[in-house]
Structure 1
Amino acid sequence: MSARAWQCQSLLIGYPDAALVERAALLTSAASTLPTPVGGPLLRFLDHLRATPPGRLTADYVATFDHRKRCCLFLTYYGHGDTRRRGMALLELKQQYAAAGLSLTDEELPDHLSVMLEYSAICPAEGAALLTAHRAGLELLRLSLHDAHSPWADVLDSVSATLPPLVGDQRTAVAKLAAQGPPAEKVGLAPFAPLLEGLGR
């Protein structure tokens, strides 16, 4: 179940291009087979996808994810900000994906939520551990999307529903992250620095 859910979520949290719209019927069929807490939010988002003009979808996506730091889809940003530690985390992720046979283009960063979910669909056990390790960032992203009344909040609700409930230290981490934000230090991100600069991170 989780692998199928993560594959659907991976596509739906990606850029809403024409290819995604063409897959809406297939994704609806897949989401309909998932338990209600996981599939229900995806079906709501798919209704929005079909009802919204493509130009509006893409404009909303850019306004949501490119212009709001609390709606950042690059999950290591929440834990490391623009620091040397983030550069190391990106390298480790890329190596982890390569070991599983998942290769990225030069334009893709390995900590993008869509990429993490794709990896999780391929390697469910390792993917669950990876998503859980980034749970504080995921939860802050989910809450921020709800605060912004974004339709993509449904996709994050679905992701959250595939993971264990937040407990103790995880709740504390989310609260701390929400209050303080990620650390800042714009050095030491090679070889990812040029791409990060282009993304405004």
Structure 2
Amino acid sequence: MTQTPRTALLVIDAQESFRQRTDDWAATANPRVLENIALLVERARINGGVVVWVTHSEPGTGGVFDPDNGFVRVVSEFEPRPHELRVTKTTVNAFASTDLQRQLVDHGVERVVICGIRTEQCCETTARVASDLGFAVEFVTDATTTSAITAGEGYGAVSGEDIMRRTESILGAREFARIVTTAERTAVTAVGS
């Protein structure tokens, strides 16, 4: 009998720091991001998957990502359970500055499901690195969000929605990840999936 590969849900940067950037948060490209993440967390818990809470920290900067200011914590809507994994990163991807890879391997994880904040930054970069490390990757775009980026003089702006579509296209077309929706991911019922 073939055993289903163990899956980990990586909840990336769903932290209070982003809500402190009130203009960005109000203009988020996906207002349902926290609702969709909650559905993924619930399904992962039901299925016996590993849930990993990733936060981003920039010690000594004095900003919203400086842990001394108290915002480097999971958003208040979520309540990580004591047995769930937590890592705090200081790099864009969740692997380079943490022991996440070792923890996933120790838990027998072969597939990661990625959701969180900043579609094109921490979420996309983590997906690419996870793929390079040999994990099967599922990217749940509708459980990520970002906001518009102004590239500077002469380059114009890119909407959050366009950034999300671009990330989805690049990850899927380049085979870094299988793109799925929250509805597709939460319909999965196999243990550990």
Structure showing the higher helix proportion among its residues: 1
Q: Which has the higher contact order (CA 8 A, sep 6+)?
A: 1
TM-score (normalizing by structure 1): 0.32
Structure showing the higher strand proportion among its residues: 2
TM-score by length of 2: 0.32
